[in-house]
């Protein structure tokens, strides 16, 4: 039956829970799937969006049937728990896990928002350089994991940051770009924004070392 479906095409309107789930299941059956969405981000009721400096949930914040999502991962021989970045951070790096919220997540770009308070300010009431480095480092690290899976021993080998303009005193967020990823090295960059400013306040370039896969 699957062989007969290899040349089939499907168009799905809407990228909510049902649309994404249908697309994944049809793709597994061999369909070439086109997912159409009128908004600029996927997710439907699961979408998170920004408006006038505030973040809003488009729908419910609690999922009462997580096993339905687990099924979708299982048909691709993956585990949902491997992509639970909140739990991963709290277990591997508890010292920083409470500073961040995921703003947007796509393969290769885990955009984080960092809560800013007086501890992150330097004289002159501007956000310190180490604070922006922390955001760039953690967000790019998670962006790599979105491609390779959980790996606590992936490490920064270098980081160069250009401070482009003074940030405001409000929260910061990141946008990441992976330029090259191989078996042992990943290179990319991160743009850092203040939530109430249009232009980026800093740009970071980071190479990351990826440990070799263990063989048993």
Q: What is the pLDDT of residues 135-190, one digit of tens each?
A: 999 999 999 988 888 788 899 999 999 999 999 989 999 999 999 999 899 999 99
Nearest residue to 83 via CA among 65, 66, 58: 66
Token readout for 47 is 């979408």
Banded model confidence at residue 53, pLDDT cuts 50, 70, 90: low
Instruction: Tell whether the model's pLDDT for residue 25 goes beyond 50.
Output: yes
Beta bridge partners of 55: 50
Enumerate the CATH 3.50.50.60 domain ranges in the chain, comma separated.
Answer: 1-78
CATH superfamily of 80-216: Hotdog Thioesterase (3.10.129.10)
Task: Flag whether the pTM goes above 0.75.
Answer: no
pLDDT of residue 33: 94
Instruction: Tell whether the model's pLDDT for residue 88 goes beyond 50.
Output: yes
* Residue 212 DSSP one-character state: P
Nearest residue to 163 via CA among 189, 117, 128: 128
pLDDT of residue 105: 79
Banded model confidence at residue 214, pLDDT cuts 50, 70, 90: low
CA separation for the pair 162, 175 (Å, rounded): 15
Percent of the chain with pLDDT over 90: 49
What distances in angstroms separate CA 124 from CA 118, 132, 195, 202, one per listed residue? 12, 16, 19, 18
CATH value of 1-78 in 3.30.2020.30, 3.90.950.10, 3.40.50.1370, 3.50.50.60: 3.50.50.60
Calculate mean pLDDT across residues 38-47. 82
Mean pLDDT of the chain: 86
Please state which of the ranges 21-25, 69-73, 88-92, 153-157 shows the lowest mean pLDDT.
88-92
pLDDT of residue 140: 94
């Amino acid at each position: 039956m699957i062989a007969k479906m290899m040349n089939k095409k499907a168009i799905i309107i809407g990228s909510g829970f049902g649309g994404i789930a249908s697309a994944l299941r049809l793709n597994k059956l061999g369909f070439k799937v086109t997912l159409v969405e009128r908004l600029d981000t996927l997710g439907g009721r699961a979408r998170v969006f920004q408006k006038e400096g505030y973040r809003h949930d488009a729908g419910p914040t609690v999922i009462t049937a997580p096993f339905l999502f687990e099924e979708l991962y299982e048909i691709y021989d993956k585990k949902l728990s491997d992509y639970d970045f909140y739990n991963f951070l709290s277990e591997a790096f508890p010292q920083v896990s409470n500073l961040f919220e995921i703003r947007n997540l796509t393969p290769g770009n885990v955009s984080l928002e960092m809560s800013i308070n007086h501890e992150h300010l330097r004289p002159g009431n501007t956000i310190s350089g180490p604070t922006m480095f922390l955001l760039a480092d953690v967000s790019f690290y998670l962006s790599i994991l979105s491609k390779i899976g959980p790996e606590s021993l992936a490490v920064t080998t270098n980081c160069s940051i250009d401070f482009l303009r003074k940030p405001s005193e409000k929260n910061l967020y990141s946008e990441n770009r992976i330029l090259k990823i191989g078996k042992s090295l990943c290179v990319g960059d991160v743009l850092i924004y203040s939530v109430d400013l249009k232009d980026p306040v800093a740009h970071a370039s980071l190479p990351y070392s990826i440990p070799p896969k263990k063989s048993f």
